[in-house]
Structure 1
Amino acid sequence: MPHDATAPLQSPIDLTHAVPVPGLRPLDFRYRAGDIVQSVTLSIHNGACQQGRLQAVPILAVTLRPNAGLLRVGADAYRLRSLHWHTPADHALDGRRPGMEMHLVHTHEQTGALLVVGVHYREQPYPSTTAPLLPIFSRFAELKSAATFPPPQLDLPELLPHAPRRYTSYRYDGSLTTADDDGVFREGVQWIVLRDQAPVSVALIHAHRALVDADLRDLHFDGRETFDFQRPRPQGNARALQDRAGRTIETEA
């Protein structure tokens, strides 16, 4: 994917003006349902530097068992490792961010290269197939104590949009959207953001937003008693949009 070699390849970005590419490798999701969750953990990640300090970004992550799912992109196979959410969405379309975005983190079966699938959620007033997530979000926000949650049953295919024929997407090279301990947003990440959106209830978005906006002093994170609660916070847990840096965003022709 062409880009400005002198510019950092950071994520997220606005996905407008994608270029149709004939013969783009097809996506084949082979996700499972049932007893596939290893753990659900609420932890603090690092965000952008603000006033000389790294932002504190709460992330609720679901770590999956090795047999949870596989994504084939053409002949390449990627193992699904974990998933988490951002409110508002990380990526934008025409300058607008949907209410929530799910990130499905994969690693290449041979090389270990990172591939992240982004799924935008479309708000609706009534319950949807994502409703089983509501107790997870709500319980963390209400208990404000344990950093881990008993593994729930999860139906991964139901968390994806119900595409009529095949999935279409936006594809580009970028970075993770949270930083390491040195404040570096790791690059070399292949991004695939699905064009179809999954339905989600307004209640679910509100529950997740309440969780990530909670007062950190009321929460306990992995036994870290010396956490700096004065660190700056972003609005929600999404990163600011980054420069496109001349990158081509590809989509199915």
Structure 2
Amino acid sequence: MRSARHLHLPVWALLLLLHFSAFVPGARGQQETDDESEFSYDCGSENGPENWGKIKEEWATCGTGRMQSPIDLSDRHAAQTPNLGYLNHSYRSAKASIVNRGHDIAVTFQGDAGSLWINGTAYHLTQVHWHSPSEHHLNSHQYSLELHMVHLSTENKAAVIGRLYKIGRRDHFLHKLEPYLRRMAGTKEKEENVGVVDPWEARGDGEAYYRYTGSLTTPACGEGVIWTVIKRVATVSTHQLKLLTDAVHDGLEMNARPLQKLNGRDISLFCAHDDHERYYAAADY
């Protein structure tokens, strides 16, 4: 076998290899589908959640996977795991745009918005989006909204931070996006630049978190996703929640995938040791 340093491929051949690498099985397994018009959240319909795995061959994992998300995060099944430690993330402000993807609203970052580090691997923040009501449940309770902060490694592996919201005071991050959401609802624009966005405003407070291995919650439902769901529940106003649902083209009142079976998976729980965190964690129930 010849050493790679002795291979001299012409430029056109390198470009061809790069082109076909996009179609290698699994290369996009942990990326969401770009076209969300082919599935719905209407349970019982031909393209509803229970049938996602039948719509396309590459979506089969949605129906056959054993590590699917979302799940109910139950304290009875979660093992307190102090050695998980505090989340190691370093975010920075970056230019972004707000995008109507048909079934949800997303803020996509156009520059380096920072990373989440897990077991020595850097997962780079690419976008945030919302689901209503929440997809994950906490101790069998479903909340009004869930934010997903999607990170990808250089090997295209995904790590997602989930944050749940109950109705209450307005959310600071969404408040800054309200003018864009109103315009999207009125004009049905698909994308608009929003300038520089600080991801820390989306991340919010709370150190305690659940950790488990699951999947993307939209087709192709790729598995092996590292999920981190913040235990402390944030608040969102009724007005902000309505803006999010009104801005979606499909006029959906909900875009949450139903709960999936745990199938014997481990759920870890990291709890901070200070009284302030324990107080807020307890106050959320």
Shared fold (TM-score, shorter chain, > 0.5): yes
| Partners of 2:74 and 2:249 in 1: CA distance | 29
Determine which structure has the larger helix proportion and give its number.
Answer: 2
1:199 and 2:217 aligned: no
Q: 1:8 to 1:114 in 2, by over 3 A?
A: same
- Listed as ranges, the gaps of 5+ residues in structure 1 are 1-5, 45-57, 216-232
CA contact (8 A) 1:137 1:211 kept: yes
| Partners of 2:191 and 2:246 in 1: CA distance | 17
| Partners of 1:171 and 1:116 in 2: CA distance | 10
Which residue among 177, 192, 195 is the counterpart of 2:217? 177
Q: What secondary structure does 1:152 align onto?
A: strand
Q: CA deviation at 1:139?
A: 2.1
Q: What secondary structure does 2:172 align onto?
A: coil
| Partners of 1:69 and 1:251 in 2: CA distance | 24
- The one-letter code sitting in structure 2 at the alignment partner of 1:96 is H
Q: Which residue of 1 aligns with 2:153?
A: 108
Instruction: Give the greater-gyration-radius structure (CA).
Output: 2
CA contact (8 A) 1:82 1:104 kept: yes
CA contact (8 A) 2:100 2:248 kept: no
Q: What secondary structure does 1:150 align onto?
A: strand
| Partners of 1:94 and 1:72 in 2: CA distance | 27
| Partners of 2:213 and 2:170 in 1: CA distance | 35
Greater relative contact order (Cα 8 A, min sep 6): structure 1 or 2?
Answer: 1
TM-score (norm 2): 0.66
Q: CA deviation at 1:90?
A: 0.9
CA contact (8 A) 2:68 2:215 kept: yes
CA contact (8 A) 1:25 1:74 kept: no
Fraction of identical pairs, as percent:
33
CA contact (8 A) 2:170 2:235 kept: no
- The one-letter code sitting in structure 2 at the alignment partner of 1:140 is M
Q: Which residue of 1 aligns with 2:9?
A: none
| Partners of 2:87 and 2:171 in 1: CA distance | 28
| Partners of 2:157 and 2:171 in 1: CA distance | 36
| Partners of 2:91 and 2:166 in 1: CA distance | 21
Q: 1:82 to 1:125 in 2, by over 3 A?
A: closer
Could you report, residue by residue, the CA deviation over 1:150-179 in whole angstroms, capped at 9, with x for unpaired residues?
Answer: 23332221222223xxx2211111111111
Determine which structure has the larger strand proportion and give its number.
Answer: 1
Alignment of structure 1 residues 1-253 onto 2, 5 Å: 8-17=66-75, 18-33=78-93, 35-37=94-96, 39-44=97-102, 58-109=103-154, 111-126=155-170, 128-144=172-188, 146-163=189-206, 167-180=207-220, 185-212=221-248, 214-215=250-251, 236-252=254-270
- Root-mean-square deviation (CA), in Å? 2.2
TM-score (norm 1): 0.73
Q: What secondary structure does 1:121 align onto?
A: strand
CA contact (8 A) 1:90 1:238 kept: yes
| Partners of 1:188 and 1:74 in 2: CA distance | 14
- Listed as ranges, the gaps of 5+ residues in structure 2 are 1-63, 272-285
| Partners of 1:186 and 1:31 in 2: CA distance | 25
Q: 1:108 to 1:161 in 2, by over 3 A?
A: same
Q: CA deviation at 1:23?
A: 0.6
| Partners of 2:170 and 2:214 in 1: CA distance | 35
| Partners of 1:210 and 1:69 in 2: CA distance | 30
Q: What secondary structure does 1:36 align onto?
A: strand
Q: What secondary structure does 2:84 align onto?
A: coil
| Partners of 1:63 and 1:42 in 2: CA distance | 11
Q: CA deviation at 1:192?
A: 0.7
